[in-house]
Amino acid sequence: MIDRLPGEASQPLARAAIYACLVGTAMYFLAPLLVMALTSVKSMDEIRDGNLLSLPLEPTLAAWAKAWAKMRGFFWNSLLLVVPAVAISTAIGSFNGYVLTKWRFRGSETLFGMLLVGCFIPFQAILLPMARALGQFGLAGTTAGLVAVHVIYGLAFTTLFFRNFYMGLPDELIKAARIDGAGFFTIFWRIVLPLSPPIVVVCVIWQFTQIWNDFLFGVAYSSGESQPITVALNNLVNTSTGVKEYNVDMAAALLAALPTLIVYVLAGKYFVKGLTAGAVKG
């Protein structure tokens, strides 16, 4: 019989302890989500008489239907906001990263440093200047104005991500394309962009999450029917008129969180691959 090496006997116990810790942590963070899901399919009478973790006796989707009826317009507002904002900021960020790494010019490092400062400016610091600028351009209280705000604020992050990713691309690839007669835009469209899907996914997930979940810019720069879903959810939950409908509030909160959850489920593994491929290098 072969004797076990020192410490080998303790490996299964250590692995079991790690799994137990991970399962316990997951349950801790998933408990609020479970409470929200259970509450959203209960009637108000059952919510008053039961407890938070009790299973619904008569599950119903009435609260979901009511929540969707109240939040539908604001849901589409957020969608109309997040799609162009993410697309524009990602496109400009990729172009900036390409120029700042493969076509450097005098002052490029200074320009990048100025862009990088944008990553550290608090949202609250630009509320008044941005509101004044939107008013001067006639974009105050509009979805287009909110798109412009998120594009401007997101450029610092997308430029940083793409620049660090493109730092890992060999310069010889660009030089060879130049020798073959490829120009500035041809190299970008035919060579650099086809190599960029990992970092594009990183930027899309990052920007989508930030913009969809944003409340401060939404409440400051939108009004009335143009408000995003986060502002509408806050107004619904904090209303002081009528009976407090907890099931409707929970259903509305889940509706607001569903798009970001879907994005992470579908593209989460590509997000990790993009980060390890160079999004935080350089």
Q: What angle do CA 19, 254, 223 make, to 5 degrees?
A: 135
Amino acid type, 157: F
List CB contacts of 67: < 8 A, sequence separation 6 or more: 40, 248, 249, 251, 252, 255
Q: What share of the chain is helix, strand, coil (3-state, %, to 5)?
A: 75, 0, 25
* Predicted pLDDT of residue 172: 87
* Predicted pLDDT of residue 118: 77
pLDDT digits (tens, 9 = 90+) for 31-89: 888 889 999 999 888 888 877 778 888 888 999 999 999 999 999 999 999 999 999 99
Spatial separation of the C-alpha atoms in residues 157 and 150, rounded to whole Å = 11
Claim to verify: residue 95 and residue 13 sit in the same structural domain: no
DSSP symbol at 196: -
Claim to verify: residue 131 and residue 93 sit in the same structural domain: yes
Spatial separation of the C-alpha atoms in residues 223 and 166, rounded to whole Å = 40
Residue after which a domain boundary falls, among 12, 42, 60:
60
Residue after which a domain boundary falls, among 26, 43, 60:
60
**Higher pLDDT pick, 108 / 254:** 254
pLDDT at 262 over 50: yes
Least confident of 62-76, 192-206, 263-277: 263-277
CA torsion 144-70-206-95 (nearest 10°) is -20
Claim to verify: residue 148 and residue 240 sit in the same structural domain: yes
Claim to verify: residue 25 and residue 73 sit in the same structural domain: no
Domain that holds residue 248: 63-279
Claim to verify: residue 75 and residue 137 sit in the same structural domain: yes
Residue after which a domain boundary falls, among 38, 60, 82:
60
Provide the CB-side half-sphere exposure for 64 (13 A, CA). Answer: 13
Tally of CB atoms within 10 A around 70: 18
Claim to verify: residue 21 and residue 4 sit in the same structural domain: yes
